[in-house]
Amino acid sequence: MNDSTHFTRREFLSTTSKTVTALAAASAFGPAILSAKSPNGTIGVGCIGLGTRGGDLINGAVNCDGVKVTAVCDVYGPHRQKGVERSKNPDVKTYVDYHDLLADKNVDAVIIGTPDHWHCQMVLDAVKAGKDIYCEKGFSHTLKQAKLMRAALKKSKCVFQLGHQARQSACALQAKELIATGALGPITLVRTGRYGNNDAAHPIWRWYGYYNQWEHPDPAKVVKDVDWKLWLGESPKIPFNERHFWHWRCYWRYGTGQAGDLLSHEMDFVQYILGHGIPDTCSCTGLNALLKDDREVPDTWAAAYQFIKLGRTVTFTASMNTSVGQPVEFCGKDALLRFDGIAHDATNFTVTPESHNERKDLPKGYIRGKTPKQPNHMEDFFNCVRSRGTPKCGVDEAFVEIATSLMSVESYLKRRQVRWDAAKEEIV
């Protein structure tokens, strides 16, 4: 096994630049010719990537009405077998190379649950193949990739959904509608965060195939069961590295650390409710406070975003060394709206008026039954596949997500505040 070598910012920028050039050359996409839907109305689904999150996504797909998982793909044998078992289809096809799955005529839509460094190429290739696409967050690994993906998706007729499941919440929709009436007054501060804590023997992001699996598989067996070259893709070519394979979230070459994994969820939830778009500025700091293994990304992350014309600041703080959390809070001049948890756990909210607010009609909080139950995020995607509508987290929202997340990465790496240049669509 070849242990991790530090991946510097210069190497990160060099690698992603080469990758984007290669993607652009390989993806001379035109408008997609959508796959013909099954004559009985059933949507055939191919699942690409069946590890930690991908294993959950296939469970979501098989529980949707009128959906059949017809193909599964993973470069690692045990993950493919997991896909077969969870597909609930004795005739499901299995693939190692996702290109073969995209060529399968029984696949109408794909669910991409791979590490982030594969999202761009897979989305571009799925567009070329005429498949509708559900892709797990974050949208891409770099901003240049995001622009390629957005251009391809907008030019095509493909339905696209990014995996931010907090948008399915009925209480979030009710909060969104309430805030839109101006009930809180001008919102000047929003607070969000993600917190977790494990014992020293089980550091966060060091699991093996699922969040609660800590038994260490034999590396000699794993290397025989995985197509390592396919797993790496356009990332730097290195000998098999089991820590990179199992714990890819810890390394810049495959993901964006807390930004893409956790911040993206919370900031997307805020964007869903307020719709304010990409922030004007971001200041972010990060530190490996306690998890001093070979991980490159910090265990502690603090980002402050500003929307200057709106007079609004949004903060995200995260730690992998404490479980004391930060529920989502919208602080208005006239009232505070506080959810009962982080974005994905929110089921309720309370409204607390400021002392000067004498309104008698202000609701005290979430009114159960007032807002109809919403289809879950996967159902929303398949509903739009049928109607050819726009899902709750389509490509435009996905671009806001990734620009917002990457602003925090750039600020951390450059050790300074960064700004969004709206005219050039660049982080400067």
- Domain range annotation of the chain: 1-21+166-375+395-428, 22-165+379-394
pLDDT of residue 25: 40
Sole residue written with tokens 């009232």: 335
Same fold? 1-21+166-375+395-428, 22-165+379-394: no
Q: With 90 as the cut, is the pLDDT of residue 107 above it?
A: yes
How sure is the predictor about 35, in pLDDT bands with cuts at 50, 70 and 90?
Answer: very low
Provide long-range contacts, Cβ within 8 A and 24+ apart, for 277-280: 277/400, 278/400, 278/403, 278/404, 278/407, 278/420, 278/422, 279/305, 279/306, 279/307, 279/314, 279/404, 279/407, 279/420, 280/306, 280/307, 280/308, 280/309, 280/419, 280/420
Q: With 50 as the cut, is the pLDDT of residue 14 above it?
A: no
Report the CATH architecture of 22-165+379-394: 3-Layer(aba) Sandwich (3.40)
Q: With 80 as the cut, is the pLDDT of residue 302 above it?
A: yes
Percentage of the chain modeled with pLDDT above 90: 90
How sure is the predictor about 13, in pLDDT bands with cuts at 50, 70 and 90?
Answer: very low
DSSP state at residue 42: P
Distance CA 254, CA 7 (A): 11
The 10s digit of each residue's pLDDT in 401-421 is 999 999 999 999 999 999 999
Q: pTM here? A: 0.91
CATH level 3 topology of 1-21+166-375+395-428: Dihydrodipicolinate Reductase; domain 2 (3.30.360)
Mean pLDDT for the stretch of residues 349-360: 96
pLDDT of residue 325: 82
